[in-house]
DNA sequence: GTTACTGCAAACCGTTTGCACTAGA
DNA sequence: TCTAGTGCAAACGGTTTGCAGTAAC
C-alpha cells in the first residue's frame, strides 16, 4: 500500500485508524468531506476512533500530500483525496451539493499576474456558487 | 451621507457605532479586515463599542451591500468596503499582506460552465497565494 | 523497550445569542 | 413613547492540546 510507504518514509507509523480514514476518503473521491463526516464514516469501520485522531490524521495526510483541503463557502474545512488532477468545485447554495469541474482558467490568470506585477503566485483557490440542476428543476 | 439613507430606507437606525465602523472600513479601502481588527480600529473613535456590535454591524452592512466578505485562506472572515469594482486578492503566504487585482477571468469560466453543464453559476470566490515583492527580496 | 499514536476531556478561539439597559425616531 | 440597537457575559461549534495509557516498530 502506498500510504504505508509514505508514512514510514517520514518516520510515521501505520495504524488501523489511518488506514480506515484513508479508505473513507478513497471511497468518497470527488466528495469533499468535513472532519465530522470523516469521523462518522470512519467509525463504521473502526468503531473506537476519536474525533481528535481524525483531525490529526487529516492534517498529517495534508502534509503528506495525500489529501487536499477544499475551501467551500461557509462553515468547516473540507478534505478530499488528492488524485493529482487539478480541479475546482461548484457548490449549490440551495442544497449544498458539490460538483467538480476541470479546466481551470487560473493558469492563464497567473500568467498575466506574473507579467503585470511582482507578486509570485504559487497556488490559488477557486470555487463557484450557484444552483445545481436538481434545485433548478425543483423551483 | 449615503449610509444614513440606506439604513433608514430599510427601517434601521443611524447610530454613532455604525458610522464609526463605516469610517474605519472606508479608511481601509482595499484592505480586508477581520472583525477583531475592525473592533480595535473602531474603538479608537468610539471607545465603548462592543465586539458583538461590530459583528452585528458587519453582518448588517453585508446585507445592505455596503461591505463584501472576503475569503482569505485561513482563520477568520474578512470584510472590506464595497466600491462596486469587481476584484480579487493576492495573499502573501509569508507575511499575510493582501493585494488586489482586477481583471477577473472567471467570467469566461462561468460562460464555459454554462455551456458545458446544467449548473447555474451566480457568484464565485477566487484568491491567489504566493509571495509579495517585499518577501521575495527579503529571501 | 522505546516512543509515536490514540482517546478522552478540557481548553481554545472566533462567532452568536439572551438579556436588561439605552438611545434614535 | 416605542422599539431597534447596544454592551456584557454566557453559550456555541469547530478545532487544538495536555496527558496518561496503548500499540507499532
In whole angstroms, C14 C1' to B115 CA is 40
What does residue A16 show for φ and ψ, rounded to 5 degrees?
A: -60, -35
Rounded Cα distance, B112 and B120, in Å: 11
Q: Is pLDDT above 70 for B139?
A: yes
pLDDT in tens, A45-75: 999 999 999 999 999 999 999 999 998 877 7
Among partner residues B90, B116, B121, which is closest to A119 by beta-carbon distance?
B90
Q: List all nucleotides in chain D with at least one atom under 7 A from a protein Cβ.
A: 4-10, 14-18, 23-25
Give the 3-state secondary structure of residue B26.
helix
Continuous H helices in chain B: 2-9, 16-27, 35-43, 51-64, 106-116, 133-137
Q: How far away is chain A from the Cα of B10, in angstroms, using its nearest Cα? A: 25
Domain with CATH 3.30.1490.190 in chain A: 86-139
Mean pLDDT for A69-86 is 88
Chain A residues with beta carbon closer than 8 angstroms to that of B106:
105, 126, 128
Residue A108 binned pLDDT confidence (cut-offs 50, 70, 90)? confident
CB-based contact B32:B78 (threshold 8 Å): yes
A73 touches chain B (CB under 8 A): yes
Give the 3-state secondary structure of residue B52.
helix
Write out the H or E segment, with its range, that includes residue A123: strand A120-131
Give Cα B4 distance to the centre of its chain.
20
Task: Count CB atoms within 10 A of the CB of residue B5.
Answer: 10
Burial of A80 (0-12, 13-18, 19+ CB in 10 A): buried
B contact test, residue of A98, A102, A120, A131 with most B CBs within 10 A: A120
Q: A67-70 and A98-101 as β-strands: parallel, antiparallel, unpaired?
A: unpaired
Domain with CATH 1.10.10.10 in chain B: 1-84
Write out the H or E segment, with its range, that includes residue A98: strand A98-101
C-alpha cell at B84: 462596486
- In terms of CA atoms, which chain B residue is nearest residue A107? B105
pLDDT in tens, B75-134: 789 999 999 888 999 999 888 889 888 777 777 777 777 777 888 888 888 888 899 999
Q: A88-92 and A120-131 as β-strands: parallel, antiparallel, unpaired?
A: parallel
Residue A116 binned pLDDT confidence (cut-offs 50, 70, 90)? confident
Residue B1 binned pLDDT confidence (cut-offs 50, 70, 90)? low
Q: List all nucleotides in chain C with at least one atom under 7 A from a protein Cβ.
A: 4-10, 14-18, 23-25
User: Which architecture does CATH list for A1-84?
Assistant: Orthogonal Bundle (1.10)
pLDDT in tens, B28-56: 999 999 999 999 999 999 999 999 999 99
Lowest average pLDDT, out of A4-18, A75-89, A103-117, A122-136, goes to A103-117
Rounded Cα distance, A43 and A48, in Å: 7
- What CATH class is the domain A86-139? alpha beta
Q: How confident is the model at residue A49, as a pLDDT?
A: 98
CA dihedral A130, A131, A133, A135 (to 10 degrees): 170
Amino acid at each position: 500500500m502506498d500510504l504505508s510507504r509514505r508514512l514510514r518514509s517520514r518516520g510515521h507509523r501505520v495504524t488501523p485508524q489511518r488506514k480506515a480514514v484513508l479508505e473513507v476518503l478513497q471511497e468518497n473521491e470527488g466528495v469533499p468531506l468535513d472532519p465530522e463526516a470523516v469521523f462518522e464514516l470512519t467509525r463504521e469501520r473502526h468503531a473506537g476512533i476519536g474525533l481528535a485522531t481524525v483531525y490529526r490524521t487529516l492534517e498529517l495526510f495534508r502534509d503528506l500530500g495525500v489529501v487536499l483541503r477544499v475551501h467551500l463557502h461557509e462553515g468547516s474545512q473540507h478534505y478530499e483525496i488528492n488524485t493529482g488532477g487539478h480541479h475546482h468545485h461548484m457548490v449549490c447554495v440551495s442544497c449544498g451539493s458539490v460538483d467538480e469541474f476541470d479546466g481551470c482558467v487560473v493558469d492563464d490568470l497567473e500568467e498575466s499576474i506574473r507579467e503585470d506585477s511582482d507578486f509570485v503566485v504559487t497556488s490559488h483557490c477557486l470555487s463557484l456558487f450557484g444552483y445545481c440542476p436538481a434545485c433548478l428543476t425543483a423551483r
